[in-house]
Structure 1
């Protein structure tokens, strides 16, 4: 058994059980990947993969257990490297942040600017996805941290550090009839075509939950994962939208008007997500502190050791 075999197993899973893609990602041949997995199975005495001809259909039960252990071993190896890297140079390295489009576009820019000024030799990478994808990337070690609202899947291996409360507004084209109302209601909104955030985002869930609670059926004509795309459709006259207040800029978003809607929709909490088993490099904890000054390194370390770290620092 060797680390290469463990990497091959985890990469097969990361590539949705596609051997060809796994081999391409690993810069090796498909037969070579297959052979190493066979050798690992022979040594363990169990099948790790369910095979259907030349295709991998699923992981076996032992395969799922082996995957968890393999990820843990590879993470520990990365942690050892991080310890050495911190000791050798605390201001150089890579930081991969998984986040949503809205967070990257509307919240992270000033923080990234400050971070780059302080750590010019740290290579910063942003990986965009929905909350479920983000926490999966952090869980698999493909990202050092996640910044997003709560996912729909359970992630006990991750600690969540509360960061930001996202309130919502309703965006409408200029001269829209809703602008004449002093206080809008969900019933008012249901009279117009709506363009919503996808349900894989907390914002999309919160909006639909509010309508469901009052047994009102909204006229949703389109859903999307990108706030800027939604705003473009609203500006074109295709409908109205409920988006985070941070997504609207009166100077930039010409042709749109914002209507306050905090009384209609509960805010969504945004978190920093960290794997409990990862070694946190100094510049990673500093990025978190730049996001929220209350999250000092001792408090972050405590959160990583605490089963439920969703309380405020």
Structure 2
């Protein structure tokens, strides 16, 4: 049974069982109306109308009962549309993001705050999971998107939109590294380093670069967030390694930033979406804030590609 069939059924009744008038009201043909009514009767297995020859003259007993139910259903259709529109626009609804810890944390925070300012009724939840578990949540519809550290598995039912996150070093302004003309791994090695937890991919990238040079990595402090790293550096614990987006000079006037992009590869972040799910409109706003390159065209092309 289709909603259109109930609309045609109801419209014919409201126009005094005149199929010609009903067809005009529906902007369709008389045969089209007759076909929809016949398909509805065939599917229900009952006769809905009383006939005099080819003319409809009234409703059967069961037709009257179905008319009452159909009217109730059609009365709720605008409310259904209102609910759908409210969720699609972000006036209501939720956004669930499954993310790897440490990955694009500052950008995620900024995107969430910006979205909530635009849409205060929107509920946003962040679930921190490893990529292998995150994929299962996305498939099951438990999350709208993933922001994951270098997802290695490729799945036909998920799309992966890569973005790069560059890391930098921060140190107090009076630190020797702030005055150095050239930064090498050998120059960095003697100084204690505050970095992410041992399991974080960003931490592994640092260790990998030093290992390839045969130099022990200088990481002495493994911390849970960029904010903690910055706090330790400000208190003189060492040099910090954070994502470039996490450092706001105005908020940390006592620190200088040190470009090390020539020494360490960027952290590859995957923005992962279910291929077949219809994203709510506010998801596109969130992604544009996360990375301006993720516009609607890029996302839709990725969803359509195989």
* Shorter-chain TM-score tier: 0.5 to 0.7
Is 1:211 aligned to residue 210 of structure 2? yes
* Runs of at least 5 residues in structure 2 that lack an aligned partner in the other structure: 1-79
CA shift at 1:273, angstroms?
1.2
Q: Which position in structure 1 is the counterpart of 2:283?
A: 284
Task: State the number of aligned residues.
Answer: 224
Which has the larger Rg?
Answer: 2
Q: Which residue of 2 aligns with 1:255?
A: 254
Residue in 2 aligned with 1:62?
A: none
Structure 1 match to 2:126: 126
Q: Provide Cα deviations, 1:85-117, integer angstroms capped at 9, x if missing partner.
A: 646853232111233565675224554355345
Are the aligned partners of 1:131 and 1:201 in contact in 2 as well (CA < 8 Å)? no
1:168 aligns with 2:162: no
Q: TM-score, normalised by structure 1?
A: 0.60
Q: CA deviation at 1:265?
A: 1.2
Question: 2:99 matched to 1:99?
Answer: yes
SS at match of 2:88: coil
- Tell me the TM-score normalised to structure 2 length: 0.61
Structure 1: tracts of 5 or more residues without a match: 1-81, 308-313
- In 2: Cα distance, 1:102 partner to 1:285 partner: 22
Instruction: State the distance in 2 between where 1:189 and 1:83 align.
Output: 60
Stretch moving more, 198-207 or 242-251:
198-207
CA–CA separation in structure 1 for the residues paired with 2:209 and 2:119: 43
Q: Deviations over 1:122-178 (max 9, x none)?
A: 322233456566555434533211224314x52524311134x32222112342222
CA distance, structure 2, for counterparts of residue 133 and residue 257 of structure 1: 38
Matched, 1:177 2:176: yes
Q: Residues of 1 paired with 2:148 and 2:135: CA distance?
A: 9
CA distance, structure 2, for counterparts of residue 279 and residue 137 of structure 1: 16
Any conservation in 2 of the 1:94–1:123 contact (CA below 8 Å)?
Answer: yes
> Who is 1:45 aligned against?
none
Question: Counterpart of 2:125 in 1: which secondary structure?
Answer: strand
Deviations 1:19-64 (A, max 9, x none): xxxxxxxxxxxxxxxxxxxxxxxxxxxxxxxxxxxxxxxxxxxxxx
- Distance 1:133-1:191 versus aligned 2 partners, 3 A rule: farther
Q: 1:181 to 1:145 in 2, by over 3 A?
A: same
Range that drifts further, 104-113 or 271-280: 104-113
Contact 1:83 1:279 in 2 (8 A): no
Counterpart position of 1:142: 142
Cα RMSD (Å): 3.2
Give 1:194 deviation, angstroms: 1.6
Task: State the shift of 1:259 in Å.
Answer: 1.4
* Structure 1 match to 2:194: 195
Please tell me whether the aligned partners of residues 172 and 256 of structure 2 are also in contact (alpha carbons under 8 angstroms). yes
**1:289 Cα deviation from its structure 2 partner:** 4.2
**Following the alignment from structure 2 to structure 1, what is the Cα–Cα distance between the partners of residues 244 and 296?**
30
